[in-house]
Structure 1
Amino acid sequence: MDAGLVVLILLIIAAVVVALVYNRLVALRQTTRQAWGDIDVQLKQRHDLVPNLVETVKGYATHEKETLEKVVQARQQAVDASGLKDQAQAENLLSGALRQLFALAESYPDLKANTNFLALQNELADLENKIAAARRFFNNAVAEYNTAIEQFPAVLLAGPFGFKREDFFEVAASERARVEAAPSVKF
């Protein structure tokens, strides 16, 4: 066999491998971006719901201005956040402020019985479940993408083609501690 033909065949094989690896990385990056888009949609819905919730609570808890202001400020920070880390941090603050708001509602029986408040609370709980599911999907996509760009032979191509590690959408340490400190059930 001619040496030129062997080199040509090896170059074709190398080009096919490069194309396959590149296309896989592009697909994984797109999956990660789509997963972030899914989270973003859910977060925007939550941001839209918060003002209605605050207005409903205002009517019952007029002297709880500080808590309501914290919720409004946290929502605005979440709306204004850019970048994954800033967004995650702002959303964790908003989650904490909303928890305070619902804790406050426990002190107002009329508010707890208000159908509008209950509907908003249920809608928010549903959104929180959707956000959690979207976050799990996103973090799984990020893990798969990050793993792919670190594996051979993709590691040789990732840097030169601009593929960079993605950050996870993480729960704040305070939120994690709250989950880990679940109440115990005793009979």
Structure 2
Amino acid sequence: MLWFLIILGAIAFVVIGMYNSLVRLRVRADSAWADIDVQLKRRWDLIPNLVETVKGSAGHERETLEAVVEARNRAMSAQGPAEAAAAEGVLAGALGKLFALSEAYPQLRAVEGFTDLQGSLDDLEEGVQNARRYYNAVVRDYNTKTQLFPTNVLARLFGHTGRQFFALGDEGQREGPSVNFS
């Protein structure tokens, strides 16, 4: 009888450990997504300033400016990693077109505010990339844990389902907008 209780206690200890590891990874994934969200919000907050700066030097490029604003709004309303990644890819493309205007309007490159915004956006792009890498690593660990036996039994029992990776769509969207004006 004593051996039975010891074995039952050991099994309970292992089950509790597996459950806690699932919860720990889920919380880390939520935290990592929140970090991405903060970086993206900082990026979205920078875009109106960038658009206003460009309006001053190239305001007649209305279509490009409207595309950036529309892409920003779509990105801000995206829900979940897959939708957010698609919207951010469109936004990166629109920002790339916006920065391409500096080739057509050299006076834009001379505006100090534009170059400052350009540097800030470059820093934010790096922050988004780092946060995305960390999030995807945590999601990989969490998804692996929810699929490995015997943890997968507990995962299904307690509603732990896999998470989506934050991955950009096609190859053309994998890089952030180019902000180098050498």
Q: Which one has a bigger Cα radius of gyration?
A: 1
Q: Deviations over 1:99-150 (max 9, x none)?
A: 1100112111110111000000100000001101111111111111111111
- Aligned amino acid, residue 66 of structure 2: E
- Counterpart among 153, 157, 160 of residue 157 in structure 2: 160
SS at match of 1:63: coil
Where does residue 182 of structure 1 map in the other structure?
none
Gaps of 5+ in 2: 177-182
Please say if 1:171 is aligned against 2:180: no
Where 1:106 maps in the other structure, the secondary structure is helix
- Deviation string 1:29-83 (CA, Å, 9 cap, x unpaired) is 1111111111100000000000000000011112210000000000000111112
Say which of 26, 37, 41 aligns to 2:34: 37
Conservation of the 8 A alpha-carbon contact between 2:81 and 2:164:
yes
Q: Quick one: which amino acid aligns to residue 98 of structure 2? A: L
Percent of pairs with identical residues: 50
Q: Partners in 2 of 1:67 and 1:149 — Cα distance?
A: 44
3-state SS in 1 of match to 2:58: coil
Q: Quick one: distance in 1 between partners of 2:80 and 2:166?
A: 11
Which letter does structure 2 place at the counterpart of 1:94?
A: L
Q: Is the 8 A contact 2:64 2:94 kept in 1?
A: yes
| Residues in 2 aligned to 1:163 and 1:138: alpha-carbon distance in whole angstroms | 17
Q: Give the superposed CA RMSD.
A: 1.3
Q: Which amino acid aligns with 1:136?
A: R
The answer on 1:117 being equivalent to 2:134 is no
**Structure 1 residue 171 displacement after superposition:** 1.6
Letter in 1 for 2:173: E
- Which amino acid in 2 is paired with 1:116? G
**Letter matched to residue 147 of structure 1:** T
In the alignment, which residue of structure 2 is the partner of 1:22?
19
Which residue in the other structure is 2:142 paired with? 145
Q: Distance between the aligned counterparts of 2:159 and 2:169, measured in 1? A: 29
Match for residue 10 of structure 2? 13
Equivalent-residue separation in structure 1 for 2:144 and 2:28 (angstroms): 14
Corresponding position: 1:58 with 2:41: no
The amino acid across from 1:24 in the alignment is S
Q: TM-score, normalised by structure 2?
A: 0.92
1:126-184 C-alpha deviation (Å, 9 max, x unpaired): 000110111111111111111111112201110111111001000221224x69xxxxx
1:88 CA displacement: 1.2
Q: Which amino acid aligns with 2:64?
A: T
User: How many residue pairs end up in the alignment?
Assistant: 175
Alignment partners' CA distance in 2, 1:82 and 1:175: 19
1:175 partner letter: Q
Please state if 1:77 is matched with 2:74: yes
Is residue 90–residue 173 contact of structure 2 (8 Å, CA) maintained in 1? no
